[in-house]
Amino acid sequence: MPKTSSYNKTVLPGGIRVVSERIPGVRSVSLGIWVIVGSRFETAAENGLSHFIEHMAFKGTQTRSALDIARSIEQGGGLVNAFTGKEMTCYYVHVIDERMPLALDILADVMRDSVFDPGEIEKEKQVILDEIRDHEDMPDDVCHERFIRELFGKHPIARPILGPPRNVKGFTRDDLIRYIDKHYLPSRIVVAAAGNLQHRALTRMVEDKLGFAKRGKAVKSERIGKLTRKLRRFPRPIQQAHMVMGTRGLPYGSLDRFTMSVMNTVLGGGMSSRLFQNIREKHGVCYSIYSFTDSMADTGAVGVYLATDRERVDKARKLVLKEFEALRETPLTKAEIDGVKTQLKGNIMLGLENVSNRMMRLGRMEIYLGRYHSLEDVSRQIDVVTPAKVQKLARQLWTADRMVTTIVEPERKRKSAQPARRT
Q: Would you please indicate which residues are annotated as catalytic (active-site) residues?
A: 54
Rounded (5°) CA angle 108-113-117: 135
Decide if 256 contacts 389 (C-beta within 8 A): yes
Task: Give me the amino acid identity at 22.
Answer: R
How many other C-beta atoms can be found within 10 angstroms of the C-beta atom of residue 317?
19
Please give the full DSSP string across 58-72, using - where no structure is assigned: TS-BSS--HHHHHHH
Decide if 141 contacts 131 (C-beta within 8 A): no
Closest CA to 158 of 253, 53, 86, 244: 86
Please give the DSSP secondary-structure letter assigned to residue 161. Answer: S
Rounded (5°) CA angle 124-56-166: 50
| Cα first-last separation, the chain | 84
Decide if 122 contacts 87 (C-beta within 8 A): no
How many other C-beta atoms can be found within 10 angstroms of the C-beta atom of residue 201?
12
Rounded Cα distance between 38 and 58, Å, is 18
Sheet holding 79-84, edge to edge: 6-11, 17-22, 189-195, 28-35, 89-96, 79-84
Q: Which long-range contacts (CB under 8 A, 24 or more apart) does 1-8 make?
A: 1/352, 1/353, 1/358, 7/362, 7/372, 7/374, 8/199
Q: Which long-range contacts (CB under 8 A, 24 or more apart) does 217-225 make?
A: 217/185, 218/36, 218/185, 218/187, 218/188, 219/41, 219/182, 219/183, 221/40, 221/41, 221/156, 221/297, 221/298, 222/155, 222/156, 224/152, 224/155, 224/157, 224/298, 224/299, 225/152, 225/153, 225/154, 225/155
Exposure string over 409-419, b if 16+ CB within 10 A, otherwise e: bbeeeeeeeee
Beta bridge partners of 20: 8, 193
Beta bridge partners of 28: 96
